[in-house]
Amino acid sequence: MSAITITPIATFRTDDPYPFCPGCGHGPILDRLNEALIKLDLDPAKVVIVSDIGCSGLSDQYFVTSAFHGLHGRSTTYATGIKLANPDLEVVVIMGDGGTGIGGTHLVSAARRNIGITVIVMNNLNFGMTGGQHSTTTPEGGITSTTPLGNLEHPLDICATVGVNGAAYVYRGSSFDSDLAGRFAAAMEKPGFALLDVWDLCTAYYVRSNKFTRAGMEDSMRSWGMEPGLLYERETTEYAAGYREAHEAVVGSPVMSARPIPVDFEATLDRPMSLVVAGSAGGKIRSASRLVALGAIRSGLWAAQRDDYPVTVKSGHSVSELWLAPAEMPLTAVSRPDVLAIISVDGYGKAQPYLAAMTADDLVLTIPEYASLDTAARVVVIDPKSAEKRIPKTSMGLVYLSAALAITNPYPLDALREAAGAGSFAEVNMEAVETGVALVG
Amino acid sequence: MTANTEAPSREYIDGTTAIVRGAIDAGCTFFAGYPITPASGILMAMMREIPKVGGIAIQGEDEIASIGMCLGAAMSGSKAMTATSGPGISLYSESIGLAIMGEVPLVIVDVQRLGPATGGATTVAQGDVQFIRWGTAGGYPIIVLAPSSVPESYSFTVKAFELAERFRCPVFVLTDKELAMTLSAVDVDDSTVAHGTERPEKHEGLPYSWEPADAVEPMRRYGDGDAFRFTGSTHDEGAYITKNAAKVGALNEHLIAKIEAHRDEIEMVDTDLDPKADTIVVSYGVTAGAARAAVARLRTEGVVVSNLVVQSLWPIPETALLDAFDGVQRIVVPELNMGLYGREIERIAAGREVVGVNRIDGGLITIDEIMEAVR
Ligand SMILES: Cc1ncc(C[n+]2csc(CCOP(=O)(O)OP(=O)(O)O)c2C)c(N)n1
Ligand code: SF4
Ligand SMILES: [Mg+2]
């Protein structure tokens, strides 16, 4: 006889009796869970029972473990967050068949991810708590308070659904199974997502309305094509562990650290100036604006750009409003631009409100198609065909903005050249700048 | 070419980047979200950046899953954030209530877009200002901060985490398409004020206490110390479901008192008052840009006018507003909705004329429109 005896914790149950109706299957299922927890000899503080809503959702209160009693159908999502944040925890979800309906997408996703949680479905073929309404698992023909003439819907095969979608351990049985505690323990020990569809009796409703009994339960399963037993078992990478492994290499690398822009030039601009470039999506309008802004910042100016484009980022219009200013200025819309560049038919479609507001002090740069624009502003027509080389569509924005800067001279063109040369696509962008300058030079 | 060493160090970033940096500097280690314009930038950046600090980011199967994962992770000790736009806030609704009831710190970014339903995905609006105030059942207080610039997008995100931890509750950062996606020059110093206050925690015992009503109990975390419970049902201090009227009343009064009794720790305004002004402009969020510019321009024209930007939309900074309204006859409230916050101003400013400048066509309110309303 050894001097030390290790006594596993005697029970994970509180002293309180279950609140369920006489004969309800939920109690025996919880007893089997208790046996499984005893068998695995877990620390109750390291076990989190996440319960759903319904009579099944009352379960967690009868255990001495940690618990999370959340919203209807969403238990799997809390369990996922709990496990992801602390993979050392043993996370057990208890839900009713109701939860598999309203939260079905979460079950499928949890199975696909193989997050390391164990889901026990207390499947009594109806909503017990709310008065015996039909659920996703109510058999065809089943009489419930919402299917008084018999259910017309096909019952959900929960096991097949999570099984074909990657779950690591899938078992179907009933509250009467003699080895249920062993199944629970095996499921908890299995890395990855485990689900046990445990059929049981709702004595208050489904049993009464359908003369449904223990004897008929297994036969019924088979007749509906839902075999009992261990249905799927596979080796998988548990998601919380897999995530950590996949990201190990980046831990400790710098987070979006500031990339200060050098100020090497001096601007002449002494008041806020607005430029609008109106073109087509896919034409790198936003990138062109950004380079002009970066050139301004290199010259000690402030800059901001507000972009407008449809959800389909590669078709339709793309309009960029750009502010350059000697001092910080709040974010505002451009109503009357100092310079407007119209470089495509989509852009022209968006130009009207700007054109209407512009005066003789302002400048419009346009492609030849819109040479006879109706505006008070000075119009300069730039024909891209007169450029030495063909201008690619994706350079048009930068070409016209460079031309605008060459005419209005808010800051040294060399600052723009530096900005264009410093980023990606440097060669193309530098060429676009020179083309723009040459076209008006 | 001469290197200007005196010049301040600037970069060119958008509000999305500022929010992500703010979150990570505040100690955020868990993010879950579902893609939606104009909030997707935050999700994508978080997926890339948070693993660098050993945190977890995940794209949920929908918004309900995303916020649910955040709540679970927060109870495992993480500082959590999620981000979406109007359609997603609709799906968060029930879970916002769960965060309130279970007293879970959580930062929720709402990048507003235009209209009901799908509305305008790439179009600015400020239509969610009442929606997020009353976005869940029960009508309990909520904290909402509204940045009006890129630097504020950073600092208010940091602040949101501080308040969420301080009061154990969800805190909204209310922004919009323009603030999130407009690039602007910012002083590098403005976006590197690392904070990251520690979560007040305890390692054993009951997860809740509401004695006195406004006191906030330190958090428990799963796996630390002894077992503890959490529930979204009306509960006692141990998170056991109860219908005991005294307990139920105490819990619900606590949820209100912990915020209402500490409004002074939350309320924020940016005031630019002229004691001689009989007109004041009151704005928030992106519209504050045009308001500030309009007031500046009006003053150069000799118009005497005050300006106030509401930064904590909820709770409403009533004291600061009333102070600012002293001696004022007219209040101009520009907002990208048909007067959703203006009605609160009307209530507080009883007896004074409140003039709305409103727009719901996807455009920003212009400087001219505000100037006209002031004149
Ligand atoms: C969002 C939401 N909708 C509806 C309800 C009402 N409700 C409470 S329990 C329940 C059904 C539970 O049935 P099931 O999951 O099968 O559990 P059982 O009572 O049978 O154990 C419903 C619909 C709710 N709590 N939340
Ligand atoms: S209503 Fe049904 S599920 Fe609920 S306790 Fe009674 S028998 Fe059990
Ligand atoms: Mg049920």
Q: What is the pLDDT of residues A319-360, one digit of tens each?
A: 999 999 999 999 999 999 999 999 999 999 999 999 999 999
CB proximity under 8 Å: B 153-172 to A: none
A169-174 and A194-199 beta bridge pairing: parallel
Nearest residue to B70 via CA among B88, B86, B82:
B82
**Cβ–Cβ of B225/A45 closer than 8 Å?**
yes
Torsions phi, psi of A208, nearest 5?
Answer: -70, -40
Q: Pick the atom of ligand 2 nearest to A206's CA.
A: 2
DSSP tag of A410: S
Mean per-residue pLDDT for A402-424? 97
| Alpha carbon distance, N-terminus to C-terminus of chain A | 101
Would you write out chain B's pLDDT as a tens digit for each of its 375 residues?
A: 344 445 568 999 999 999 999 999 999 999 999 999 999 999 999 999 999 999 999 999 999 999 999 999 999 999 999 999 999 999 999 999 999 999 999 999 999 999 999 999 999 999 999 999 999 999 999 999 999 999 999 999 999 999 999 999 999 999 999 999 999 999 987 655 566 788 999 999 999 999 999 999 999 999 999 999 999 999 999 999 999 999 999 999 999 999 999 999 999 999 999 999 999 999 999 999 999 999 999 999 999 999 999 999 999 999 999 999 999 999 999 999 999 999 999 999 989 999 999 999 999 999 999 999 999
The answer to whether the B10-266 and B269-374 domains have the same CATH topology is yes
Spell A340-353 as b/e; 16+ CB within 10 A means b. Answer: bbbbbebbbebbee
Q: What does the pLDDT look like over A176-210, one tens digit per residue? A: 999 999 999 999 999 999 999 999 999 999 999 99
User: Residue A219: its pLDDT value, please?
Assistant: 82
CB atoms within 10 A of CB B300: 7
Helices marked H in B132-284 — which ranges?
150-167, 177-181, 245-260, 263-266
Nearest residue to A341 via CA among A316, A309, A318, A314:
A318
Average pLDDT, chain A: 95
**Cβ–Cβ of B1/A265 closer than 8 Å?**
yes
DSSP tag of A104: H
Which SS3 state, helix, strand or coil, does residue A121 take? strand
- B38: cis peptide before it, omega within 30°? yes
**A-B contacts (CB, under 8 Å):** 243
CA of B117 to the centre of ligand 1 (A): 27
CA of B298 to the centre of ligand 1 (A): 59
CA of A190 to the centre of ligand 3 (A): 26
Chain B hits for A303, CB-CB cut-off 8 Å, are: 12, 183-185
A47 and B CB contact within 8 Å: yes
Taken in order of first residue, the domains within chain A and their CATH numbers are 26-242 (3.40.50.970), 273-439 (3.40.920.10)
Note whether A92 and A33 are within 8 A (CB).
yes
Superfamily of domain B10-266: Thiamin diphosphate (ThDP)-binding fold, Pyr/PP domains (3.40.50.970)
**Cβ–Cβ of B366/A333 closer than 8 Å?**
yes
Q: ∠ CA(A8), CA(A9), CA(A13), 5° rounding?
A: 150
The structure tokens 């100690």 sit at B27
A330 and B CB contact within 8 Å: yes
**Cβ–Cβ of B70/A85 closer than 8 Å?**
no
Q: What are the E-state strand segments in B50-105?
A: 56-59, 80-84
**Cβ–Cβ of A258/B191 closer than 8 Å?**
yes
B80-84 and B30-33 beta bridge pairing: parallel
Token code pair at residue B276: 């001689």
Quickly state the pLDDT bin for A6 (edges 50, 70, 90): low
User: Residue B202: its pLDDT value, please?
Assistant: 97
Closest ligand to the CA of A202: 2
**Cβ–Cβ of A78/B2 closer than 8 Å?**
no
For the Cβ of A58 lying below 6 angstroms from any atom of ligand 1, the answer is no
Residues in contact with ligand 2 (CB, 6 Å cut-off):
A 20-21, 24, 26, 55, 124, 128-129, 202-205
Torsions phi, psi of A13, nearest 5?
Answer: -90, 150
**Chain B residue with minimum CA distance to A334:** B366
Which residue type is seen at B275?
Answer: P
Token code pair at residue A389: 């080389």
Chain CA centroid to CA A430, Å: 38
CA of B4 to the centre of ligand 2 (A): 77
- A260: cis peptide before it, omega within 30°? no
**Ranges A82-96, A284-298, B2-16, B282-296: which has the least confidence:** B2-16
Residue A213's Cβ-side half-sphere holds a number of Cα atoms within 13 Å equal to: 3
User: Residue B192: its pLDDT value, please?
Assistant: 57
Note whether A331 and B182 are within 8 A (CB).
yes
Chain B hits for A243, CB-CB cut-off 8 Å, are: 56, 58
Among A44, A243, A263, the residue with its CB nearest the CB of B7 is A263
Q: Pick the atom of ligand 1 nearest to A127's CA.
A: 13
- A8: cis peptide before it, omega within 30°? no
Among A44, A85, A293, the residue with its CB nearest the CB of B77 is A85
Nearest-CA residue for ligand 1 atom 23 is A130
For the Cβ of A55 lying below 6 angstroms from any atom of ligand 1, the answer is yes
Compute, in degrees rounded to 10, the torsion defined by CA atoms A211, A217, A221, A224: -10
A55 and B CB contact within 8 Å: no
For the Cβ of A163 lying below 6 angstroms from any atom of ligand 1, the answer is no
Note whether B73 and A91 are within 8 A (CB).
no
Nearest-CA residue for ligand 1 atom 12 is A54
The structure tokens 């080389």 sit at A389
Helices marked H in A74-212 — which ranges?
75-85, 97-102, 104-113, 158-163, 180-189, 206-210
CA of A29 to the centre of ligand 2 (A): 13
Which SS3 state, helix, strand or coil, does residue A133 take? strand
Note whether A296 and A415 are within 8 A (CB).
yes
Note whether A124 and A201 are within 8 A (CB).
yes
> Exposed, middle or buried by CB within 10 Å (0-12, 13-18, 19+), for B125?
buried
**Minimum distance, in Å, between the CA of residue A251 and any CA atom of chain B:** 4
**Minimum distance, in Å, between the CA of residue A409 and any CA atom of chain B:** 17
The structure tokens 């208010």 sit at B156
How far apart CA A48 and CA B352 sit, in angstroms, is 56
Closest ligand to the CA of A206: 2
Query: Which CATH number describes the domain made up of B269-374?
Result: 3.40.50.920
CB atoms within 10 A of CB A262: 15
CA of B106 to the centre of ligand 1 (A): 26
A49 and B CB contact within 8 Å: no
Q: Cα–Cα distances in Å, from A82 out to A86, A92, B282?
A: 6, 11, 43
For the Cβ of A136 lying below 6 angstroms from any atom of ligand 1, the answer is no
User: Residue A66: its pLDDT value, please?
Assistant: 98
Token code pair at residue A58: 């009352």
DSSP tag of B52: G
Nearest residue to B177 via CA among B131, B122, B130:
B122
For the Cβ of A128 lying below 6 angstroms from any atom of ligand 1, the answer is yes
Among A67, A71, A290, the residue with its CB nearest the CB of B229 is A67
Q: ∠ CA(B160), CA(B165), CA(B169), 5° rounding?
A: 80
Q: Looking at chain B, how many residues does it have?
A: 375
Closest ligand to the CA of A27: 2
Chain A hits for B79, CB-CB cut-off 8 Å, are: none
Mean per-residue pLDDT for A300-312? 92
Chain CA centroid to CA B96, Å: 14
Region at A211 (left for phi over 0; alpha for psi -120 to 50; beta for the rest): left
- What is the reported pTM? 0.96
**Cβ–Cβ of B49/A256 closer than 8 Å?**
yes
Quickly state the pLDDT bin for A106 (edges 50, 70, 90): very high
* Radius of gyration of chain B from its Cα atoms, rounded to whole angstroms: 21
CA of B374 to the centre of ligand 3 (A): 62
CB proximity under 8 Å: A 109-168 to B: 109
Token code pair at residue B293: 């510019």
Contact residues for B227 (Cβ-Cβ < 8 A; gap 6+): A44, A45, A47, A64, A65, A66, A67
Chain B hits for A82, CB-CB cut-off 8 Å, are: 72-73, 75-76, 222
For the Cβ of A56 lying below 6 angstroms from any atom of ligand 1, the answer is yes
**Cβ–Cβ of B241/A61 closer than 8 Å?**
yes
Nearest-CA residue for ligand 2 atom 5 is A20
User: Residue A3: its pLDDT value, please?
Assistant: 59
Q: What does the pLDDT look like over A214-240, one tens digit per residue? A: 988 888 888 889 999 999 999 999 999
Name the residue of A59, A122, A129 to mutate for ligand 2: max ligand atoms within 8 A of Cβ. A129
**Cβ–Cβ of B32/A81 closer than 8 Å?**
yes
User: Residue B3: its pLDDT value, please?
Assistant: 43
User: Residue B285: its pLDDT value, please?
Assistant: 98
Chain A hits for B192, CB-CB cut-off 8 Å, are: 258
B202 and A CB contact within 8 Å: no
Domain ranges (residues) in chain B: 10-266, 269-374
**Continuous segment of H or E residues that includes residue A56:** none
Residue A285's Cβ-side half-sphere holds a number of Cα atoms within 13 Å equal to: 31
User: Residue A224: its pLDDT value, please?
Assistant: 87
User: Residue A1: its pLDDT value, please?
Assistant: 45
Chain B hits for A261, CB-CB cut-off 8 Å, are: 9-12
CB proximity under 8 Å: A 255-294 to B: 255-256, 258-266, 290, 293-294
ipTM for the whole complex: 0.96
Mean per-residue pLDDT for A143-161? 97
